[in-house]
Amino acid sequence: MLARFRWLSLFLAVTFGLLALLAVGCTPASSPIRARLTLAGEPAIGKPVVFTLDITSSEPITDVKANIMLPAGVETLSGATEWTIPSVEVGQHYVFSTTAQVVENGYYVIYSGGYKESYYQGQLTTRHGGGDSFHIIVEGDDTWVSKSPPENTWKSASSLGAYPEKPELVDTELKLSGPLTADGLTEVTYAVAPHIDLTNVEVGFGGFNGGLSTGNPRISANGENIMSFFSIPEEAQAFDRSMRWVGTLSEGQTYTFRITLDVADNGSNQLYAWVNERDPTDGHTVVGKLDMLDLQFYIPRWAR
């Protein structure tokens, strides 16, 4: 029995040792390329700033590409944003700069880096490198700059009320009345025009916790309105802040569902709206349509 135990212990040790070696062998090696991005100036609206990228490597490497990626809303004033380094030597710094300006209020991420690409028979096989970035929020002359992203306080607080099922049977349009603002409410409209009568239908908007809230649900129609607002039980409010109507939608009519958005802190998320016609016998979706808006609002004073 003791001999068997020793052989079993030896077998397990060898097995786990081989697995460990395989794990090490399958782990991608870290890139020798390092990138450091610096910023000179205050990135207020219309004011020039200089982004400088410093590329180094812990081992010799050839054909390294470098770039500074400026998103829409940030314009190049002078200098390039892409470079190629034929040969990178250990201990050397390869420095590139570009001058730019922010032309619109908003939240921007400035990515940069150096990378090496390898090809086999014309196909990209590997790409490795190092990167660095800045997170910038601009509102006129007020700015916030960091190497880390601002906190996103907009948390979804509802499940989706539908999945696509014969979506061609209902026309929908989801839109904002204007840009989100810190000083007032923004209206959301969801126009729904069915091509068939929907007799057991739910129309809803997803809800949020945190720095974005929904409210003031309303409905209008170009014909008879026989939809009623569904009140979520008070004890469920912490878990489901969606707004939902139930009832009947008639073919050939357009129904407009409205809510308001109130922004109280920085964040980004998706606003979902849906139409869900269910079979009254077993509850499965007969007609389902899901729409989405990408929402984002950041200002410097809420990021500090």
- Break the chain into its structural domains and give their ranges: 33-146, 154-303
Note whether 33-146 and 154-303 share their fold: yes
pLDDT at site 236: 54
Are 271 and 298 within 8 A, CB to CB? no
Order of all β-strands in the sheet with 212-221: 170-176, 185-194, 255-263, 212-221
pLDDT tens column, 5-41: 334 344 444 344 433 333 333 334 589 999 999 999 9
In angstroms, rounded to a whole number, what is the distance separating the alpha carbons of residues 283 and 4? Answer: 60
Assigned CATH topology for domain 154-303: Immunoglobulin-like (2.60.40)
pLDDT at site 222: 83
pLDDT at site 233: 61
The pair of three-digit structure tokens given for residue 102, joined into one six-digit string: 């922010």
Torsion angle of C-alpha atoms 9, 12, 13, 18, degrees rounded to 10: 160
Torsion angle of C-alpha atoms 174, 177, 182, 183, degrees rounded to 10: -150
What is the SS3 assignment for 7? helix
In angstroms, rounded to a whole number, what is the distance separating the alpha carbons of residues 97 and 78? Answer: 9
29 phi/psi in degrees, rounded to 5: -70, 145
DSSP line for 237-253: TTT---EEEEEEE-TT-
**Residues in the chain with pLDDT values less than 50:** 1-28
Q: Please give the CATH number for the structural domain made up of 33-146.
A: 2.60.40.10
pLDDT at site 13: 44
pLDDT tens column, 191-220: 999 999 999 999 999 999 999 999 999 999
In angstroms, rounded to a whole number, what is the distance separating the alpha carbons of residues 218 and 215? Answer: 9
pLDDT at site 121: 84
DSSP line for 124-185: EEEEEEEEEEEEEEEETTEEEEESSPPP--EEE-S------BSGGGEEEEEEESS---SSSE
